[in-house]
Structure 1
Amino acid sequence: MAKKFLSVFMALVLAVLCVIPAFAESEKVNPILVISGFSQYKFVDTVSGKQVWTPETSIIVDLVTKALPPLTTLLASSKNKADYDKFVDAVVPVANDYLRYISVGPDAEPVDNNVKLIDQFTGPVSNYDYAWVKTVFENDIVDIACDAVGKENVWVYGLDWRVDPLVLADEIHEYVKNIKKTTKCEKISVSGISMGGIVMSCYLAKYGYEDFSNITYLSAAFTGIDYVGEMFSGNIKVDGQGLLNIIKESMHNTTVSDILEQTKILDLLLPVVDDLVKYEKDRVYTEILMPNFGYNTGLWAFCPDEYFASAKAFMKARMNAGTAEDAAKFWGKVDDYHNNVQLKINDILHAAQNDGVTVSLVSCYNLQMPPVSPASKYMGDQVIEARHTSGFATVADYGQRLNAEVGPHIAADKMIDANSAYFPENTWFVKNQQHVGFSNAGTRDNGAFYKWILTAPEGTDVYSNPRFPQFMYYFNDIKELRPLGDVDGNMKLSIADAKMILKSVSGSRVLTSSQIEAAELSGDSKVSIVDAKLVLRSIAAS
Structure 2
Amino acid sequence: MKNGLRKVLSFMLVIAMLGGFAVPAFAADAPASAERATTIPTVYIQGYGAEIYKDANNVNSEIIVGGDVPFLSDGVLGSLLENIMSPLMKGVTTGDYSEYNDYVVNALTADLGRFRLDDNGEPSDGSGNFCRRTKNVVNKKWYDGKYDIYAYSLVYDWRVDPFLTASELNEYIGKVKLATGSDKVNLVGRCLGANVVLAYLSEYGYDDINAVNFYVAGLEGFEIVGALFSGRVEVDSDALDRFLQATLDGEEDELIDFAKSLIAILNFVNGLDLPIDVVYGIYEQVYSDIIPRVLKESFGTMPAFWSFVGEEYYEDARKLNFPTTEEQTRYAGLLEKTDRYYNEVSLRTEDIITGAVESGVSVYFTAKYGFPAVPLSKEAVYYSDSTVSVTSQTVGATSTVMGKTFSADYIKNAEKNGTAKYISPDKCIDASTALLPDHIWFVKGSKHANMPNCVDIMMASIFEATGNREKYVSVNDIEEYPQYLYVENADEYAPLKIMTSDDADVGNEKWDKSIFEHLAIFLEKLLNFISELFSQIMSDVNKS
Residue deviations 1:127-147, cap 9 Å, x none? 8xxxxxxxxxxxxxxxxx999
Residues 318 and 291 of structure 1: CA distance in aligned 2, closer, same or farther (over 3 Å) = farther
Aligned to 1:534: none
Alignment of 1:131-530 (within 5 A): 149-151=146-148, 154-239=151-236, 241-250=238-247, 258-261=257-260, 274=280, 277-317=283-323, 321=327, 324=329, 326-403=330-407, 404-405=410-411, 407-440=420-453, 445-457=454-466, 458-476=471-489, 479-485=494-500, 487=502, 517=506
Residue deviations 1:182-211, cap 9 Å, x none? 111111111100110000000000001111
**Hey, what's the Cα distance between the residues in 1 that align with 2:256 and 2:285?**
29
Residues 453 and 247 of structure 1: CA distance in aligned 2, closer, same or farther (over 3 Å) = farther
Aligned to 1:31: 41
**Hey, what's the Cα distance between the residues in 1 that align with 2:135 and 2:64?**
23
Task: Using the TM superposition, give the Cα deviation of residue 394 of structure 1 relative to its aligned residue in structure 2, in angstroms.
Answer: 1.7
Amino acid at match of 1:38: Y
Q: Greater CA deviation, 210-219 or 242-251? A: 242-251
Gaps of 5+ in 2: 1-36, 267-271, 515-544
**Hey, what's the Cα distance between the residues in 2 that align with 1:277 and 1:419?**
39
The alignment status of 1:99 with 2:112, answered yes or no, reads yes
Gaps of 5+ in 1: 1-26, 128-144, 488-513, 526-542
**Hey, what's the Cα distance between the residues in 2 that align with 1:439 and 1:189?**
20
**Hey, what's the Cα distance between the residues in 2 that align with 1:94 and 1:75?**
14
**Hey, what's the Cα distance between the residues in 2 that align with 1:289 and 1:65?**
20
Residue deviations 1:394-452, cap 9 Å, x none? 22222222332161212122222211211111111112221042212xxxx44432332
**Hey, what's the Cα distance between the residues in 2 that align with 1:104 and 1:220?**
24
Residues 273 and 261 of structure 1: CA distance in aligned 2, closer, same or farther (over 3 Å) = farther
**Hey, what's the Cα distance between the residues in 2 that align with 1:394 and 1:58?**
32
Residues 117 and 93 of structure 1: CA distance in aligned 2, closer, same or farther (over 3 Å) = farther
Q: CA contact under 8 A between 2:241 and 2:263: conserved in structure 1?
A: no
Aligned to 1:114: 127
Q: Secondary structure at the match of 1:389?
A: helix
Amino acid at match of 2:320: F
What is the RMSD computed on CA atoms of the aligned residues?
A: 3.9
Residues 125 and 372 of structure 1: CA distance in aligned 2, closer, same or farther (over 3 Å) = farther
Q: Secondary structure at the match of 1:430?
A: strand
Q: CA contact under 8 A between 1:126 and 1:152: conserved in structure 2?
A: no
Aligned to 2:22: none
Q: CA contact under 8 A between 1:92 and 1:288: conserved in structure 2?
A: yes
Amino acid at match of 1:517: V
Q: CA contact under 8 A between 2:213 and 2:365: conserved in structure 1?
A: yes
Amino acid at match of 2:498: P
Residue deviations 1:285-340, cap 9 Å, x none? 2321233233322222212223333333333327854x72x544333322221222
Aligned to 2:84: 71
Task: Using the TM superposition, give the Cα deviation of residue 515 of structure 1 relative to its aligned residue in structure 2, in angstroms.
Answer: 9.5
Amino acid at match of 1:362: T
Instruction: Give aligned-pair identity as a percent.
Output: 24
Q: Greater CA deviation, 364-373 or 474-483? A: 474-483
**Hey, what's the Cα distance between the residues in 2 that align with 1:168 and 1:312?**
23
**Hey, what's the Cα distance between the residues in 2 that align with 1:69 and 1:83?**
21
Aligned to 1:18: none
Q: Secondary structure at the match of 2:296?
A: helix
**Hey, what's the Cα distance between the residues in 2 that align with 1:252 and 1:149?**
42
**Hey, what's the Cα distance between the residues in 1 that align with 2:244 and 2:139?**
38
Amino acid at match of 1:375: E
Residue deviations 1:258-297, cap 9 Å, x none? 3433576997997796565244212212321233233322
Residues 238 and 480 of structure 1: CA distance in aligned 2, closer, same or farther (over 3 Å) = same
**Hey, what's the Cα distance between the residues in 2 that align with 1:51 and 1:268?**
43
Q: What is the aligned residue count?
A: 447
Whose Rg is larger? 1
Amino acid at match of 1:347: D
Residue deviations 1:355-404, cap 9 Å, x none? 33221111112211111233322321111111010111122222222332
Amino acid at match of 1:261: K
Structure of greater relative contact order (alpha carbons < 8 Å, 6+ residues apart): 2
Q: Secondary structure at the match of 2:364?
A: strand
Residues 483 and 375 of structure 1: CA distance in aligned 2, closer, same or farther (over 3 Å) = same
